Structure 1
């Protein structure tokens, strides 16, 4: 049986373009070029029916190594904790005060982009410290 080589992370959200911009900043991702025949994404969106404008957005890893991220507008709001979340690896290999400093620096950067800080989870016998957060629409993720 063949293994799956690629996957896409899909977010249901109210404002796909806003959430995509946030994750581009977090991960160093970029928007793909607009569709053929359009100079900008605004030009493309203005060609759509009003209900379809801004209905989705994409974020890509410019190196091609990371998964494509797709953001789609849905009518319902978020009501419960995510069952799956992203761990943004900003302190890999670091421990103690050095790890906490790296987590804090990235947390401050992301809060300025609209993220919300959760309660810091300090290291214990099994796990290193991590910083729970929420993106601009309340989707949980962790700085790890």
Structure 2
């Protein structure tokens, strides 16, 4: 049996391009070039039927290491806690106050992008900050 080599993470959301561009800023991801034959994503969207315009957007890791993120429009809003969430690993290898300071600095940057700080989990050694993206999807700064 062969192992899976790549995977994509899909987000259900109301505004795919807005949420994708938020995650580009969080992770240093990029928006791929528009489909062949289109100069811009706006040109591509105008070519779609009205109900399909803006129905999805994607971003990817420019190094090719991280998974592609795909954002699809759904009619319903978020009503419950995510069953799956991303851990944004900014404090890897750090402990104690150094780790906490690194997480707090990144939290400030992400709040300026529209994220919401939910709570700090800190036991004196290990820490993470629970946050929400611009549509309320939970993630952790770890």
Please classify the TM superposition score into its range, dividing by the shorter chain length.
over 0.9
Residue 62 (structure 1) shift = 0.4
| TM-score, normalised relative to structure 1 | 0.96
Residue 55 of structure 1 pairs with residue 55 of structure 2: yes
Distance 1:51 1:9 in 2: 23
Any stretches of 5+ residues in structure 1 without a counterpart? none
| TM-score, normalised relative to structure 2 | 0.97
2:131 equivalent in structure 1:
133
2:118 equivalent in structure 1:
118
- CA deviations on 1:5-36 (whole Å, 9 max, x unpaired) are 11000000000000000000000000110011
Equivalenced residues, count: 142
Residue 51 (structure 1) shift = 1.1
1:29 equivalent in structure 2:
29
Q: Root-mean-square deviation (CA), in Å?
A: 0.9
2:43 equivalent in structure 1:
43
Distance 1:95 1:123 in 2: 11
Residue 90 (structure 1) shift = 0.3
Residue 119 (structure 1) shift = 1.1
Distance 1:69 1:26 in 2: 12
- CA deviations on 1:83-128 (whole Å, 9 max, x unpaired) are 110000000111111111100110000000000001100026xx71
Distance 2:66 2:27 in 1: 9
1:46-85 maps to which residues of 2 (within 5 A)?
46-85=46-85
Any stretches of 5+ residues in structure 2 without a counterpart? none
Bigger CA drift: 115-124 or 49-58? 115-124
1:107 equivalent in structure 2:
107
Distance 2:123 2:4 in 1: 34
